[in-house]
A and B are shown apart, each in its own frame.
Chain A
């Protein structure tokens, strides 16, 4: 049996705990023994990207300590995993060696470690998939979420025009450059809406919160789901 330590990410922990719960349920259904190191907090990406290197380093070191003994680390976020895999080695050196190679984005872990694409999920809906940038480009694992979604029964998956364009979240960029960030969100949402899909799905909670927050401000009630919630969905007894 494979064991995984869940890195739930600070955003999911605080704002979208149901994404963490869905992630755990999907993993456990596949026979993964999930643990949750309770000392975990945040990967430090927001600090790092905003230029606060020393601050990010403190968070990265804490992360490395917390997950030092984990067999695998699984997170429902491509962006946080990219932070660990791409930036930790440069930020905290040797200390990152273990965690960086053992850290997985949720769908990548399912496909490449558990070896499953069909998790028995079923969702009668048309969905539009938003490819988040760090998963797509920094991790280069864009096929993982797509392959998992393709096996969900009843789900029609499309992608918006200019799918490779960023949604405008960008960490603190979304707050310090709110007007530009919002213009990007609007460009993305226009194309999302044009697909006519009823559900917006993505593999990064941060992008989804940004898009959902904008949709709500526009008065739209479009259903927004994290991929773990889609994969958790089924008519189960």
Chain B
């Protein structure tokens, strides 16, 4: 089973909803512009950001290359300390495992730290169905849980909400300052941390040579989730692994500077198993669930580099499409450029097959990506793979167009025909107002220049007889 959530409405409908929501677009523009500017400042402070990015890419490439052996190493080290490691093939394998662990402990209440993978597997829905209460403890996640929405961004799930909207969700006056909102949430959550039987987190990195999970947060809620409840379950994508703990400083630098422009996040936790003998903190039991869900089969394909992703969100912040339509319009838990690439790869293609088309291929994502993923080339590759399932009229159009233009004789005939045909179209001030077929998309919002009375080649021929 691929990504567990599926969009409720069709693409066109989702886009229309997003574009007509002025407040949403303002919220998104404000946050993404801020994140993007902070990222540039933070990277600008580094003596050689380009070299660091190259190193980051190399570290990730090496890890994906040696993934099976690194997994073995990780597993052995965690098991040696009494932890459990499970490989889950798909979302239902994750939810089954979590429910199984919960039942074994008679657990009724779960607290969760932010995890995109848990969104990918729709964990909260599965837990609710099993009668287990699960509470998001990251402020943004908590807000969207209250709102009953999907995250709108991979690192800032509630970035589409203004402060006033957030206050409303928390039942506070609209002008409550951000810190006060934090305090309200914190007070409510504190109680629940103490009652929880299980804490669930994601993981930003897996480290093979020390056998650990690295969790990066700004609120410290992950520490409550990993230390107060009796059981800690970390759910992480199989690809998040790196070989050496010694590479962590570089990876963390890239992650936090690219994500929020912070030199380092407020909290960085390294978890390597349950509470050891003689230790005072930590859970009795530690489980690491590694989710595959279509990732492993990307190794060795032209899409392999998407596995380098460290989910920093930088590509979303700089993306001009994301800035206009926001996260929800993508219909996937993973929006933006990286979402438009991995959602169709993880599937189902029926739900996400058109996302690669939702890009002007401007390359801002590639430029921003801390591990240099050629996101816009990936989008083109996916379009090329998707062409076979394109409706035949469009295929015919492109095939005919290319066939005609592959030689100058037909090209010239084509333009002569076009010049006659365009006379039939409505004009305004010398520009075309309405055109058929593909061009109709253009003229729906823009005037279209007509084919010139004399093309360049005709003028050239006259000039040089």
Query: Are A47's CB and B457's CB within 8 A?
Result: no
Query: Are B321's CB and A184's CB within 8 A?
Result: yes
B4 at interface by CB-CB < 8 Å: no
A168 at interface by CB-CB < 8 Å: yes
Q: How far is the CA of A96 from the CA of B387 in the complex (A)?
A: 24
| Residues 358-417 of B at the A interface (beta carbon under 8 Å) | 358-364, 366-367, 380, 383-387, 390, 395, 398-399, 401-403, 405-408, 411, 415
Query: Are B438's CB and A176's CB within 8 A?
Result: yes
A-B contact count (CB 8 A): 188
Q: Mark B223-262, 1 if CB is under 8 A from A, else 0.
A: 0000000000000000000000000000000000000000
Q: Shortest beta-carbon distance, B385 to chain A, in Å? A: 8
Interface size for chain A: under 10, 10 to 19, 20 to 34, or 35 or more residues? 35 or more
Q: How far is the CA of A62 from the CA of B441 in the complex (A)?
A: 29
- Give which listed residue, A10, A52, A171, contacts B399 with CB less than 8 A: A52
Q: Which residues of B contact A8 (CB under 8 A)?
A: 456-457
Q: Which residues of A contact B402 (CB under 8 A)?
A: 44, 47, 52, 55-56, 58-59
Q: Report if A165-B447 is in contact (Cβ < 8 Å); known contacts: A55-B401, A187-B324.
A: no
Q: Shortest beta-carbon distance, A82 to chain B, in Å? A: 9
A138 at interface by CB-CB < 8 Å: yes
Query: Are B405's CB and A165's CB within 8 A?
Result: no
Chain B at the A interface: mostly helix, strand, loop or mixed?
A: helix
Q: Which residues of B contact A10 (CB under 8 A)?
A: 405, 411
Q: Shortest beta-carbon distance, A87 to chain B, in Å? A: 9
Q: Which residues of A contact B451 (CB under 8 A)?
A: 14-15
Q: Which residues of B contact A237 (CB under 8 A)?
A: none
Query: Are A21's CB and B456's CB within 8 A?
Result: yes
Interface-lining segment among A33-41, A99-107, A108-116, A151-159: A33-41
Interface size for chain B: under 10, 10 to 19, 20 to 34, or 35 or more residues? 35 or more
Query: Are B455's CB and A13's CB within 8 A?
Result: yes
Q: How far is the CA of A210 from the CA of B324 in the complex (A)?
A: 17
Q: How far is the CA of A40 from the CA of B412 in the complex (A)?
A: 11
Q: Which residues of A contact B366 (CB under 8 A)?
A: 137
Chain A at the B interface: mostly helix, strand, loop or mixed?
A: helix
Q: Which residues of B contact A179 (CB under 8 A)?
A: 15-16, 19, 445
A126 at interface by CB-CB < 8 Å: no
Query: Are B441's CB and A17's CB within 8 A?
Result: no
B170 at interface by CB-CB < 8 Å: no
A44 to chain B: closest residue by CB: B402
Q: How far is the CA of A209 from the CA of B451 in the complex (A)?
A: 13
Q: Report if A41-B411 is in contact (Cβ < 8 Å); known contacts: A53-B387, A178-B441.
A: yes
Query: Are B431's CB and A216's CB within 8 A?
Result: yes
Q: How far is the CA of A162 from the CA of B457 in the complex (A)?
A: 37
**Chain A: residues with CB nearer than 8 A to chain B?**
8, 10, 12-17, 20-21, 36, 38-42, 44, 47-53, 55-56, 58-59, 61-62, 133-134, 137-138, 162, 164-166, 168-185, 187, 209-210, 212-214, 216-217
Q: 9 closest Cβ contacts across the A-B interface?
A: A170-B360, A51-B383, A55-B402, A175-B441, A213-B446, A166-B362, A133-B362, A17-B456, A20-B456
Selected A-B contacts with CB under 8 Å, 15 pairs: A13-B457, A14-B455, A15-B449, A15-B450, A15-B452, A17-B459, A49-B380, A164-B364, A168-B360, A169-B360, A175-B438, A177-B15, A178-B442, A178-B445, A180-B19
